[in-house]
């Protein structure tokens, strides 16, 4: 089968479309014919490399995939998983865990000591087929397309974890969500609005103003025209507030220090990435005097992803897709992500 592989880190030239053996499912595993895969910044990090982090190269890219079941591994799978059959339409939950430790059984598998992510710690879905444990398969209704399903896992699951599990956002609170046009922030705006909070977001391009407002943003700051701190002061003054109760910041180095300063007393900040750099400084006096809480988030529980799929089927949450690209256009897609030329998600179609 054909697959997009990274054998050594680098630029566009590091992406190789090559033939590799078709994977065979073992007991408890399922082979899925991939129909669509969503691109993430993670794919870019795998291509470029991350200082101090080692990826198990060579590696097939692709974290967020959907498709149809092509075959099961040996065993009485029909009895164990009666809802899944050959040809069933499924979304692949990208977090791989042991399934039997305390963290897995408590419902928050990202804390599993053996936790890994497709396309980062093991081969992902930018290939004709992918093999995963059948515990990682979520049936998708006919009302959700393969492309829409592939737009969900990393952005919506990470946003859900930050808003509900970490920040625990409440009705009447105000939240600042950086980079409203990114996949995770486009999801976070919708999820935050579900709580009844007031949502403020930052964007770089004025043409995205109507888009983020349609997702639920109440206020928009154009960070290329004014600092987001000044924008916040302008927005919060009529509300009688000096800070926001919550911030979602995955930009990192360029915004983190001012994000902390923007929090009200007792405020909470959640971080799930650092696209501008990970080295930041924190004034500890601000942290303890204002009783501020800082949270890190990577992915989320499979149970939460099941709930997200249900909410999408009910039209209460909406996948945000910028463009659907062909399998051969993957290198162009990653360049668009690197150059911040995307609103929402880029989807790579499965092989024809």
Domain spans in the chain, listed from the N-terminal domain onward: 2-152+319-349, 156-296
What is the pTM assigned to this prediction? 0.94
CB 144 within 8 A of CB 79: no
CB 178 within 8 A of CB 251: yes
List of residues 6+ apart from 102 with CB closer than 8 A:
none
Same CATH fold assignment for domains 2-152+319-349 and 156-296: no
Measure the CA–CA gap between 153 and 340, rounded to whole angstroms. Answer: 20
pLDDT tops 80 at residue 352: no
pLDDT-derived band at 78 (thresholds 50, 70, 90) equals low
β-partners of residue 346 are 323
Report the pLDDT averaged over residues 124-147.
Answer: 96
CB 308 within 8 A of CB 156: yes
Report the pLDDT averaged over residues 300-307.
Answer: 94
pLDDT-derived band at 76 (thresholds 50, 70, 90) equals low
pLDDT tops 80 at residue 82: no
Using alpha carbons, select from 43, 59, 123, 119 the residue that is nearest to residue 337: 43
Q: What is the DSSP string of 282-348?
A: --HHHHHHTT-EEEE-----HHHHHHHHHHHHTTSS---EEEEE-GGGHHHHHHHHHTT--SBEEEE
User: Residue 208's pLDDT is what?
Assistant: 95
User: Residue 181's pLDDT is what?
Assistant: 93
Kindly give the interhelix angle for 330-338 and 41-48, rounded to the nearest 10 degrees: 100
pLDDT-derived band at 277 (thresholds 50, 70, 90) equals confident
Residue 172 carries which DSSP code? T
CB 40 within 8 A of CB 60: no
CATH-assigned architecture of domain 156-296: 3-Layer(aba) Sandwich (3.40)
Measure the CA–CA gap between 224 and 247, rounded to whole angstroms. Answer: 19
Measure the CA–CA gap between 262 and 264, rounded to whole angstroms. Answer: 7
Say what percent of the chain tops pLDDT 90: 88
Could you tell me the two tokens for 301?
Answer: 């529980």
Q: What is the pLDDT of residues 113-124, one digit of tens each?
A: 999 999 999 999
CB 103 within 8 A of CB 97: yes
Write down the mean pLDDT value for the chain.
95
Q: What is the pLDDT of residues 1-35, one digit of tens each?
A: 999 999 999 999 999 999 999 999 999 899 999 99
In CATH terms, is domain 2-152+319-349 a member of 3.90.180.10?
yes
CB 116 within 8 A of CB 94: no
The beta-carbon contacts of 311-315 under 8 Å, at least 24 apart in sequence, are 312/144, 312/148, 312/152, 313/141, 313/143, 313/144
pLDDT tops 90 at residue 47: yes
pLDDT-derived band at 136 (thresholds 50, 70, 90) equals very high
Q: What is the pLDDT of residues 238-270, one digit of tens each?
A: 989 999 999 999 998 999 999 999 999 999 999
């Amino acid at each position: 089968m054909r697959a997009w592989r990274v054998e050594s880190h680098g630029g566009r030239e590091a992406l190789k479309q090559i033939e590799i053996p078709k994977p065979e499912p073992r007991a408890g595993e399922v082979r899925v014919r991939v129909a669509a895969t969503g691109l993430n910044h993670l794919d870019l990090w795998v291509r470029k490399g991350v200082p101090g982090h080692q990826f198990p190269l060579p590696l097939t890219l692709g974290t967020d995939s959907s498709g149809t079941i092509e075959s099961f591994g040996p065993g009485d799978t029909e009895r164990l998983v009666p809802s899944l059959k050959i040809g069933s339409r499924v979304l692949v939950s990208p977090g791989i865990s042991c399934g039997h430790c305390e963290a897995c059984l408590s419902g928050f598998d990202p804390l599993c000591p053996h936790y890994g992510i497709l396309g980062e710690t093991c081969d992902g879905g930018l290939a004709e087929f992918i093999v995963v444990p059948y515990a990682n398969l979520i049936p998708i209704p006919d009302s959700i397309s393969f492309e829409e399903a592939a737009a969900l896992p990393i952005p919506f699951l990470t946003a859900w974890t930050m808003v509900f599990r970490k920040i625990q956002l409440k009705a009447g609170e105000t939240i600042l969500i950086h980079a409203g046009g990114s996949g995770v922030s486009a999801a976070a705006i919708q999820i935050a609005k579900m709580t009844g909070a007031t949502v403020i977001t930052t964007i770089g391009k004025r043409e995205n103003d109507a888009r983020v407002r349609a997702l639920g943003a109440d206020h928009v700051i154009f960070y290329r025209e004014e600092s987001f701190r000044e924008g916040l002061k302008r927005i919060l003054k009529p509300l009688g507030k000096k800070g926001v109760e919550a911030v979602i910041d995955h930009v990192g180095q360029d915004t983190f220090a001012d994000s902390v300063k923007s929090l009200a007393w007792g405020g909470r900040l959640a971080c799930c990435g650092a696209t501008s750099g990970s080295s930041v400084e924190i004034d500890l006096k601000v942290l303890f005097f204002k009783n501020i809480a800082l949270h890190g988030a990577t992915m989320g529980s499979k149970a939460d992803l099941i709930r997200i799929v249900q909410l999408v089927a009910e039209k209460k949450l909406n996948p945000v897709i910028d463009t659907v690209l062909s399998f051969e256009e993957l290198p162009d897609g990653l360049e668009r992500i690197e150059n911040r030329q995307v609103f929402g998600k880029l989807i790579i179609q499965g092989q024809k």
